[in-house]
Chain A
Amino acid sequence: MIIEDNFRQEFYNKIKKGDKSVVLIVSVDTDALCTTMILTHLLRCDDIPFSILAVEGWSSVEKIFADSQEQKCHYILINCGATRSLTRLQIPPASIAFVIDSHRPFHIENVYENGQIHLLANPSEMSELQIPDLESVIREDSDDEEDSDEDEDQEYISYEQRMEKIRRKAIKREEMQIWERQRRTILWRYYESTWFSSPSCVTLLEMAAEMNRVSAETMWFTAVGLNSAMADKLISIEMYTQICVDRMRPFVHRFMPKNIVNQGKVDDLLHITFGRELPLALYSHWDLFSAMMVSEYFSIKTKNWTQKGDVNIRHLLAQLGITLHETKQKFEALPTEQRNLVVDVLEKEMDSSFATFFGTLGYCGKLSACDVARAVTLRLEMPKSETIMNRFRSGQSILRSSITGERQDRLNLNNTFTSICQRTLQVSWKTVAAAINQSEIIPNGPYYLFSCSRSIDEDMVDSRHFLYNTAGFMIRAFASMKKGRTTKPLIAMFPLTGESAGWLVVTGVMPIATIYEDSLLKTCIGRAFERVKKMTPPLRIVDDYFNSDIIRLKSEDRTRFIDFLQTVFEGTSN
């Protein structure tokens, strides 16, 4: 069942009134974390006990369900669970599930399962979802059985009647087949591509606002969650801006410094401003040169992976009128006027309409939600050796430390920026540079194939943030080298090392031409992988991730996978 509006009544009050225990099943990504922070804040306000379980794949969700078959729970699935049938995952019969997920499309069985599963969706996206009618996809099978019963009862009926019956049955079967065929095409169209809707935390913030429980902290969590979706390339800049304008505006006004009583004086309350920002990751915690080096825009513009690249960069800087001295030192160390000047110049150069949220707290420096989102994401995804709950907690502490003035917390955050975030950006750039320099990207029929030969930290390869960013960067860089490379998708393979050696992580991005057309960033890569998995002879593929376009593949099956994928893509394009 889909709940479209009145989340407070339909969702929150039901949990509040219910006598069942509340279990939050949380996927490990920043949006989910931020949503959890807001929801737990609300639950704490109402003294509702809850437990949090962090999950990373479908199998762990299934395990949770299997372990608690007898219990009566209210499950709240955050950023997981909408795209596969929960009934088939054996959700405990006495429990009720609420799904707050930004993955689309919904699984059709979740949509039409009325009592147990509730999906929270925004009314504005219903037209985009195009959920097929109930009659066209699900039909009760009971009719046939009844018929057969009747047959046995009425054996004395005459020949004509019997003929009539057989004829009717044949017609029915025929109808059934037609219906079946139609159903298949309808479902095919429905599941063809996957995309992300607006981040869940925005929905929760609106619900909190309805209950009059918005504080600057919850607003900040939402800002970070929203920016993380942007940083992971889940939503397009158009959609991001639209959400900021349409749905975040009332909150932005509320926590602007000038609207708060202490005019002009510094206090240590959290203030949130909304303003323009360079789409240049982490530059304010780095030096400009390095930040520009690894940024998609400047890297592609100067082609800095080539031998001439370095000269190109210097040339560009000279054109912009920025001295090398300015770019090589820490950005924060520049005097304020110079900083503003440089930012202005770069903004004009990049011609972006990116704006983000800034949190200010007393005398601590301004933090942009975008940078914090990156830090939180990587903390959540990175040291895979840590248990999932520990990673979840460290992500939580990073998120909290962005809004406390404690020295230790700030140090922790800065460490994350300088160690993990910068490294990830650099590795991402190096991977792209190596791929293009050594022409590792090969056209393979209807798609481009990149198979990584360098060994990259296993941690990074397993992180969604890294995969999506690298693949997105790579296809752009690849297209920039020669004309006519915008119409084919790119499939990227990264070998895993360590414990899961012998497996490849496979992901893909849609052709650039479609990225520009479509503001939802729909992708059909996941669908293609699914079809490859169904082909015979079966390949050893693990598709446990919540994102269907990231899978694991056994290295020995690589060549066959490539061939299968080719047939699948050829089939779709025809």
Chain B
Amino acid sequence: MNAERCEFIAGNSLIEVIPSISDDRPIHLISGDIGPFEAGVPCRIPVWTAILMKRKHNCKVVAPQWMDVDELKKILTSETESQGLAKLPDHFFEISHMLVRDAREDIFEVEAVKSLVQDIYDRRDAKLRSSAIEFLRQNQTCHAQLDNVQLIEASSARATLEACRQMGAVVRNKHESTPL
């Protein structure tokens, strides 16, 4: 699992767009129908379709509600204040990344949004790191609970934790096999 795959999974979440084309025939897919489109009437479609359409100048993306400077500031303060991780909308980082990359014209104050999202990410990343170290340092209990971890964060932390676990196994092996 890597960031790219997380983005792929996030691509399936819905987002609102304002199409600039009209098409009566919906697109039938296994996961559900997309469309029909009518120019100027907002509709909800998966992010990946939205981005494809955006590249073809076929629609305008309506940024999600949380992708607003004030909203993001709120999230940032709650992140700073809370001990654990704060609750975020699903696929927060993946969607922001995709929209900032491909639909930057449609986001209001895109620069501020970009830096705020980065701030939130950094803050959470720091928390994750410190809690991971905390978890690895203790040797009594072998479980921990951490809520509201995003998919992308879990996948980025997984590598470290996995490596540490294996390291632990190696060390244990060493102790067990060395004659006293």
Contact = CB atoms under 8 A, between A and B. Distances in A.
A265 B110 CA distance: 10
Interface string A333-361: 00000000000000000000000000000
B55 interface: yes
A265 B104 contact: no
A319 interface: no
Contacts of A266: 111
Contacts of B56: 45-46
B104 A212 contact: no
Interface SS majority for chain A = loop
Nearest to B112: A265
Dominant secondary structure of chain B at its interface with chain A: helix
Give the size category of B's interface with A: 10 to 19
A262 interface: yes
A248 interface: no
Interface string B2-44: 0000000000000000001000000000000000000000000
Contacts of A212: 20, 57
A268 B111 contact: yes
A213 B54 CA distance: 11
A45 B110 contact: no
Interface residues of A, number: 13
Interface string B44-67: 000000000001110000000000
Interface string B102-137: 001100111110000000000000000000000000
A269 B104 contact: yes
Contact of B57 (A45, A262, A265, A268): A45
Given A212-B20, A269-B104, A262 B109 contact: yes
A404 interface: no
Contact of A213 (B57, B108, B112): B57
A261 B111 contact: no
A70 interface: no
A45 B108 contact: no
Nearest to B58: A45
A215 interface: yes
A386 interface: no
B22 to A, nearest CB: 13
Contacts of A46: 56
Contact of B111 (A45, A211, A213, A267): A267
Interface string A20-64: 000000000000000000000000011000000000000000000
B108 A261 contact: yes
A269 B55 contact: no
B114 to A, nearest CB: 9
B110 A269 contact: yes
A198 to B, nearest CB: 25
A215 B55 CA distance: 11
A267 B109 contact: yes
B129 to A, nearest CB: 30
Contacts of B108: 261-262
A267 B110 contact: yes
Interface string A213-224: 101000000000
Contacts of A265: 109, 111-112
A16 to B, nearest CB: 13
22 contacts: A45-B55, A45-B56, A46-B56, A211-B57, A212-B20, A215-B57, A261-B108, A261-B109, A262-B108, A262-B109, A262-B110, A265-B109, A265-B111, A266-B111, A267-B109, A267-B110, A267-B111, A268-B110, A268-B111, A269-B104, A269-B105, A269-B110
The 10 tightest CB contacts between A and B, nearest first, are A45-B56, A213-B57, A267-B111, A262-B109, A267-B110, A261-B108, A45-B57, A212-B20, A212-B57, A268-B111
Interface of A: 45-46, 211-213, 215, 261-262, 265-269
